[in-house]
């Protein structure tokens, strides 16, 4: 079973077994067994399906967004979904595709998403701190990445001096410096 790094806001980093199955982008009809993440485009065609809504409300169905998803174009559908989904993920198809960072920031800042936001796909150790800054609190690393090395990333910096989703610049006052 793949491992999930969890770093909830205000809490310590932990490692868990990832119970969620990620449904492929070309899937047309998912089985509704176990915990599944379906592509947002599949949710678009099944949002009014009672079985999907019930599974989401039970905490067993979430969605994942492609890196090029235009979430602003589907604002109302996403806002309604955020009341149902226990988990939202964003796919990073390749390491150098940074569009998922913007999607995460939009979900946290404009859409007000407070639940788990997970990075999936080509997620590398080098990205973890930046992903955490924009609002990700769950990370499924690419298979060739070392979990122990990844966990050490979260201890590299004691103070953050830039605004981010986790903390504001008020940390400067903790250093004896005023802004």
Tens-place pLDDT, residues 114-134: 999 999 999 999 999 999 999
What are residue 36's DSSP bridge partners? Answer: 21, 61
pLDDT confidence band for 28 (50 / 70 / 90): confident
Q: What is the pTM of this model?
A: 0.87
Q: What is the pLDDT of residues 139-156, one digit of tens each?
A: 999 999 999 999 999 888
8 Å CB contact between 17 and 140: no
Q: Is pLDDT at 179 greater than 50 in this prediction?
A: no
Per-residue confidence (pLDDT) for residue 26, from 0 to 100: 83
C-beta of residue 160 within 8 angstroms of C-beta of residue 171: yes
Separation between Cα atoms, residue 68 and residue 178, nearest integer Å? 40
Class of domain 3-174 (CATH, top level): alpha beta
Long-range contacts for 48-52 (Cβ within 8 Å, ≥24 apart)? none
Structure tokens that stand for 4 in this block = 């999930």
């Amino acid at each position: 079973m793949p491992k999930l790094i969890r770093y909830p806001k205000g809490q310590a980093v932990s490692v868990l077994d990832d119970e969620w199955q990620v449904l492929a982008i070309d899937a047309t009809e998912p089985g509704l067994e176990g915990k599944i993440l379906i592509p947002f485009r599949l949710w678009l065609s099944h949002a009014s399906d009672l079985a999907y809504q019930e599974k989401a409300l039970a905490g067993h169905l979430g969605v994942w967004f492609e890196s090029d998803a235009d979430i602003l174009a589907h604002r109302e559908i996403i806002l309604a979904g955020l009341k149902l989904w226990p988990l939202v993920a964003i796919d990073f198809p390749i390491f150098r595709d940074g569009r998922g960072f913007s999607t995460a920031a939009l979900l946290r800042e404009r859409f007000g998403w407070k639940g788990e936001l997970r990075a999936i796909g080509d997620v590398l150790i080098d990205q973890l701190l930046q992903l955490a800054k924009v609002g990700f609190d769950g990370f499924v690393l690419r298979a060739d990445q070392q979990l122990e090395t990844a966990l050490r990333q979260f201890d590299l910096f004691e103070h953050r001096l830039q605004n981010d989703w986790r903390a504001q610049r008020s940390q400067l006052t903790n250093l004896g410096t005023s802004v």
